[in-house]
A and B are shown apart, each in its own frame.
Chain A
Amino acid sequence: MSRKPEEASCRLTIDGREIVVAADTPVIDAAERLGIMIPRFCYHPALGAVGACRMCAVKFLDGPVKGLQMSCMVGARDGMVVSTTNPEAVDFRRQVVEWLMANHPHDCPVCDEGGHCLLQDETISGGHALRRYRGPKRTYRDQDLGPFVAHEMNRCIHCYRCARFYQEVAGGRDYGVLSIARRTYFGRYEGGRLESPFAGNIIDLCPTGTLTDKPSRYRARRWDLERGPSVCLHCSLGCGLTVGARYREVMKLEARLNPEVNGHFICDRGRYGFGYESRPDRPRQPRVDGRETIAGAALAALAEGLKPFEAGKVAMVGGTRSNLETLAALLGLCRDQGWRPPVFFRDARLAGAAESAAAALSGDLVASLADVGRADVILVVCADPLAEAPMLALSLRRAARRGAAVLVLDHRPCDLPCEAERLTFAPQELAGCLSRLAHAALRGRKEAAAYLSSLPLPPDLLPETALALDTWGKRLAEARFPLVVCGTDQAEPTLPALAGGLARLLAGSHDQDRRAGFLPLLPGPNGLAAALAGGGDLEALLADIEDGRATALLVVESDLLSRTPEPERWLAALRKLKLLAVCDHLPSPLLEAAHVVLPSRTVFEAGGHFVNQEGRLQRAMPVFSPGLPMGRTLREGHPPRLFMSCAPGSEPRPAADWLKDLAGLLGAGGRAGDWADLAAAFPGLPGLAAGPAPENGRRCLPETAPGADAPSVAKTGSPDVPPDHLQVLLVERTFGTEELSCRAPLLAASAPEPWVDLAAADAGKAGLAHGAWLLVPLPGGPLRARLRVHQDMAPGLLLLPRDPRLLWQRLAGTGVLVELLRLHAITAEEEPAGEDTTLEAEP
């Protein structure tokens, strides 16, 4: 990065063509830049070279290295002359592929890799068309690696890509290499589910059919898939995906290379979080008062129904999982009709935190996921990376492997795949701790005076904790590239502003070529756009509906009832509404209560733009047209023998189109082109004006944030928690809690059993043991869940995941306190038989 190209570049000749690359670039990479693809199995740009497969042999004719060499193992040097087509190299590669194929099990017809298999391609292109070896073949027994990865060891060519990824990149410990020489085996010590939440990447990495995708096993060939680039919606990072669909059903998602965001990999939540688009209970038909109708009639009924209302009594709720087009249409509708501004966030705290994070972001400060890997001191505040944005954890590991120091300040037992220092505080103490850290980092800096004076007072800390915070403050001040990560899901509204302000001042403390970064985690894939759009929060809206200040409600792609801690109160409020219209593609109890239902399309069918937490505008392409999956239309075991112009169940339309047509019926003024509308709806994202997103996205944030130099910070007071009481906090988990992926049948069926967390000190007081079944008395009724006890967790908290399999909605309110001694373990006879823990309301 800082290396100057003149010093370190070198000129080499590959197949008669010259190229200038940085010194020590693997020759295989240099050739690829010329468009020459040297055959390879073990080399992968994200994993580096090991020289295991011997497939990338080329002939070095002149220069510092001579003779037949592996092009992945030789770094580029000045004056190298390389031939990839030299007869000696070609013959060598032909023989390599022949001996790699000697034990191949001859099962391509039933192998899912067939059609996109590197081994197939290299075998044919290497000229090995007929088997000469007639001896017995080596065989291996396979293992059951869990619900996502299918294992067929006979096909393995021992390239070590899977083990290198799993252990080095993802930090997993339960999968690797066993035995030696001819018996080398890739697997676990004993069969069982792969523990790493990034395990799915070994499917993409495996150049053969040894590791294949289990959910799409035996279902389709790559050449039959309708494929297109997309964006992951399961957190705010916006990782690149390639969607593969067949017969109106998503078959699989693969990682799409986006160097500044996810690199080559994605997490399993993103990879297997699909399937909600083909649920049998997905709304596919417009409905008015419970009767199915056609699109035009439903819209006309809605427009007619909205006319009698005063503009100030019509409210709209949007979701952060909607695409930018939908959000813009929603904002435009509210503005043109004079309705109340749309509501995106579940409560005032989250709305405040998201808005303060968005306000602290600017182009000069924001860090991409790739930047995390480049940082040398990383401060993670109020974020649980693995649960809220799993790919962030992978980036933190990348940074840690390069020598970065990572500090996590959080109240949860954050599990990270890398070495990190953990300091646990109660959520309301975090701002104070950050203040102590900031004082240590910015001591003696004149320009920081205003910021430091705005900080809350640090809480009373243990001397060693205070010392640790001071040490880390100094480390941040001395860092070459300090980075601050701040979550919003659990944060006090001012915390992201404090964290952003600290990052901004750290950046200011450096020379010109040094920098600092700020990476907030926002709620939902379009959380930044929603936060910039402002608006109220759902709690305030609920109060307004109860008081009759809002009498008509339009809900667009937002899960009111299944995400709120107060479903009963919401249901009662919804009954007071004179008009409730819902536009969504997820099934929810809200649809039953709605007067008008407009089925919308999922991201796979509608595509659209999304702005991730670094303000990067990215585009998802529509991959297939909506309709019932072929498998669900079979009659007598085969597709219906009919000629039809459209598929059954193809009524859903993009939510943005529904809203635009509604605006047309309501008599909106003249509209500019779609893209101009989009840019006008989000003045906080000036980069939108440049048009749709290019392949790897484009940052749209302003270069400097308005008023970013002096964050306006209100001092927060801590809530009074009586002694021996626990604050119940709703938290996210890697699997099973996120809004879309918890509706994905694959993840719902395989997510680990939900549990609640308690600090060891509290568990000791209440006499509760790790792994016990617990009965938690909540205001809405008792909740049964398995208990996990943690040493590294702030005391005074009970962490409850928003998992639909738990009855967490019995919380019936926010800020709920539970008396510690009223928690008790259930005896063996009382233990529920599984189905007891499922939520009846969840379809």
Chain B
Amino acid sequence: MLPEMVKLRRKGEELLEDGLGLLRPFATTLGMLFTRPITVQYPEEKRVLPARSRGRIILTRSPDGDERCVACFLCSAACPVSCISMEAATREDGRRYASWFRINFGRCIFCGLCEEACPTLAIQLTPDYEFSKATIMELVYEKPALLVDHGGKDPDYDFYRHAGVTEKGEKGSHVNEQEPVDVKRLLP
């Protein structure tokens, strides 16, 4: 084939492609007119989000109904925007807990790093995203507003069943533990 012919043919193909490019969207739009719409009429209609979506943060409870948070400060250390603050203290029964716990949702970026850091599965993100407020101070949540009465995503886990401290259960009574050593026994 002559080079001119080749050139001409390529030009024609380009033109055809361009023309189709103009028409295809119209066809798609036209086609969509006959499908079911996916738009949700928010706020009248609400979608159910997956359980792992990252919205409002809660503090959950262990199976025995006690709060899970032991105020270990890992969430506040992991938080990239420093929106979590708390003060650790010893509860009357001797266990470690947060005497106050505050999350500033005005600052929170819902990254979920606190949840990943939490060793007791206490702090969890929920699918709830609807809590915008008129004043910024209302976005500062205190512990009573954060603490819920369920176990969240992993309701069966109890940190104190595994940790070898005596706060809940004597030494040797936790998962995978031997009886305490008798240090005054003389046998080898």
Contacts and interface: CB of A to CB of B under 8 A. Distances in A.
A224 interface: yes
Contacts of A142: 166, 171
A219 interface: yes
A308 interface: no
Contacts of B150: none
Contact of A110 (B72, B99, B142): B72
Interface string A417-434: 000000000000000000
Contacts of B77: 221, 223-224
Chain A contact residues: over half helix, strand or loop, or mixed?
loop
A124 to B, nearest CB: 14
Nearest to A185: B183
Interface string B157-184: 0010011111100011010111111111
A140 B183 contact: yes
Contact of B164 (A139, A185, A187, A224): A139
B181 A183 contact: yes
Contacts of A108: 72, 119
A711 B163 CA distance: 67
B53 interface: no
Contacts of B56: none
A139 B72 contact: no
Contact of B165 (A115, A152, A247): A152
Given A139-B172, A630-B87, A631-B87, A106 B120 contact: no
Nearest to A109: B72
Interface residues of B, number: 43
Interface in B65-124: 70-74, 76-77, 87-90, 95-96, 99-100, 102, 119-120
A416 to B, nearest CB: 31
Nearest to B69: A109
Nearest to B72: A109
A725 B10 CA distance: 127
Contact of B176 (A107, A137, A221): A137
B100 to A, nearest CB: 4
Name the residue among B76, B140, B165, B179 with the largest chain A CB count within 10 angstroms.
B165
Contacts of B172: 139
Contact of A638 (B102, B119, B180): B102
A180 interface: yes
A630 B119 CA distance: 26
Contacts of A219: 87-89
B137 interface: yes
Contacts of A107: 163-165
Given A139-B179, A217-B90, A638 B72 contact: no
A178 B184 contact: yes
A137 B188 contact: no
A470 B166 CA distance: 60
A136 interface: yes
B71 to A, nearest CB: 7
A224 B73 contact: yes
A218 B178 contact: no
Instruction: Please indicate which of the listed interface residues A115, A185, A218, A219 has the most CB atoms of chain B within 10 Å of its own CB.
Output: A218
Interface in A120-163: 134-142, 152, 154
Counting chain B CB atoms within 10 Å of each CB, which of A106, A135, A223 scores highest? Answer: A106
A105 B163 contact: yes
B143 interface: yes
Contacts of B87: 219, 247, 630-631
A460 B181 CA distance: 61
Contact of A109 (B74, B174, B179, B183): B74
A690 interface: no
Interface residues of A, number: 42
A105 B184 contact: no
Given A108-B119, A637-B100, A139 B163 contact: no
B170 to A, nearest CB: 9
A110 B176 contact: no
Interface in A162-200: 178-183, 185, 187
B176 A136 contact: yes
A632 B167 CA distance: 27
B100 A139 contact: no
B184 A218 contact: no
Nearest to A187: B183
B188 A638 contact: no
Contacts of A641: 137, 140
Given A109-B119, A137-B164, A178-B183, A154 B171 contact: yes
A639 interface: yes
Contacts of A109: 70, 72, 74, 119-120, 159, 163
A139 B166 CA distance: 11
Nearest to A181: B188
B88 A218 contact: yes
B182 A183 contact: yes
Given A109-B119, A218-B96, A638-B102, A139 B181 contact: yes
Nearest to A224: B73
Contacts of B165: 105, 107, 110, 152, 154
Given A107-B163, A110-B96, A221-B73, A137 B178 contact: yes
A637 B89 CA distance: 12
Contacts of A136: 176-178
B185 interface: yes
Nearest to A186: B183
A705 interface: no
B140 A183 contact: no
Interface string B40-78: 000000000000000000000000000000111110110
A13 B143 CA distance: 57
A220 B73 CA distance: 8
Contacts of A221: 72-73, 77
A154 B90 contact: no
Contacts of A152: 165
A639 to B, nearest CB: 7
A187 to B, nearest CB: 8
A508 interface: no
Which residue among A110, A221, A247, A637 has the maximum number of chain B CB atoms within 10 Å of its CB? A110
Q: Give the residue among A107, A108, A181 with the most B Cβ atoms within 10 A.
A: A107
Interface in A627-649: 630-631, 634, 637-639, 641
A114 interface: yes
A221 B70 CA distance: 12
Contact of B185 (A183, A631, A637): A183
Interface string B130-150: 000000010010110000000
Nearest to B77: A223
B185 A179 contact: yes
A138 B70 contact: no
A641 B145 CA distance: 14
Most B Cβ at <10 Å: residue of A105, A109, A115, A180:
A109
A110 B163 contact: yes
Contacts of A224: 73, 76-77
Contacts of A135: 176
Interface in A70-123: 105-110, 114-115
A203 B162 CA distance: 25
Interface in A288-306: none
13 contacts: A105-B163, A110-B163, A110-B165, A115-B73, A139-B172, A141-B171, A154-B171, A182-B181, A183-B182, A218-B90, A219-B87, A223-B77, A630-B87
**Top 5 A-B pairs ranked by shortest CB distance?**
A105-B164, A107-B163, A109-B72, A638-B100, A185-B183
Given A107-B165, A139-B178, A180-B188, 13 more contacts: A109-B70, A110-B167, A139-B177, A139-B179, A139-B181, A140-B180, A182-B181, A185-B181, A217-B90, A637-B143, A639-B100, A639-B102, A641-B137
Interface of B: 70-74, 76-77, 87-90, 95-96, 99-100, 102, 119-120, 137, 140, 142-143, 159, 162-167, 171-172, 174, 176-185, 188
Interface of A: 105-110, 114-115, 134-142, 152, 154, 178-183, 185, 187, 217-221, 223-224, 247, 630-631, 634, 637-639, 641
